[in-house]
Amino acid sequence: MSRNVVDTARKLLLLGQCVPTVKQNATKIKVKRLELDENLLMYFKKDEFYYCHDPDKTCKIGDIVLIKALPQKLTKLITHEVTEVVYPFGDITDPITGKKVAKERYREDIEREIELYGKLQSTFDYNKAPPRGWQEGKKDFTSKPTYTKYHVFDENDPYSI
């Protein structure tokens, strides 16, 4: 009976990370799971990949997204759809407090420290930073098609992974 509950939960909602894909009309999502080893009675990490329908191209590589199963498969591979982008890449939010985080500290704490001790020259200002994606086509090539490089050629292709 517990196996049916797990299979049902697997079909509802999943949280995963968007990864590069070769398919043009789908988004590839990596979902991290813990799998029980019956002999050792320990859990081990296992990654599962799902191809998701994302017609609006709302998620970019690195985003944490929420996906759900489609009632009917669109194709042989596309079985899920992207519901929403929970956390955009590079803009980390603590899920418990809802505060923005920079590395291991809250941004509010960093701003309070700057007010108390003065601003250093190397301090990054998050309020003045442009939104993600402003370098698309210049330095950010996440919108370009990618493919896996299987052979080494004389010329280097920047779009291969």
Within-domain flag for 130 = no
Task: Measure the CA–CA gap between 101 and 124, rounded to whole angstroms.
Answer: 13
CB 20 within 8 A of CB 160: no
Report residues of the chain scoring pLDDT below 70: 1-11, 122, 140-154, 156-161
What CATH number should be reported for the domain holding residue 35?
Answer: 2.40.50.140
Task: Measure the CA–CA gap between 44 and 33, rounded to whole angstroms.
Answer: 8
At 115-133, the pLDDT tens digits run 898 877 767 778 788 877 7
Within-domain flag for 41 = yes
Within-domain flag for 43 = yes
Parallel/antiparallel/unpaired status of strands 78-87 and 42-53: parallel
Within-domain flag for 155 = no
Output the pLDDT for position 35: 93
Residues 19-56 as b or e (16 or more Cβ within 10 Å = b): ebbeeeebbbbebeeeeeeeeeeeeeeeeeebbbbbee
> 37 lies in which domain range?
2-91
Output the pLDDT for position 137: 72
Within-domain flag for 124 = no
Task: Measure the CA–CA gap between 161 and 148, rounded to whole angstroms.
Answer: 5
Q: Residue 60 gets which letter from DSSP? A: -
Q: How many domains does the chain have?
A: 1
Output the pLDDT for position 57: 85
Within-domain flag for 123 = no
Within-domain flag for 82 = yes
- Chain center to CA of 2: 29
Within-domain flag for 64 = yes
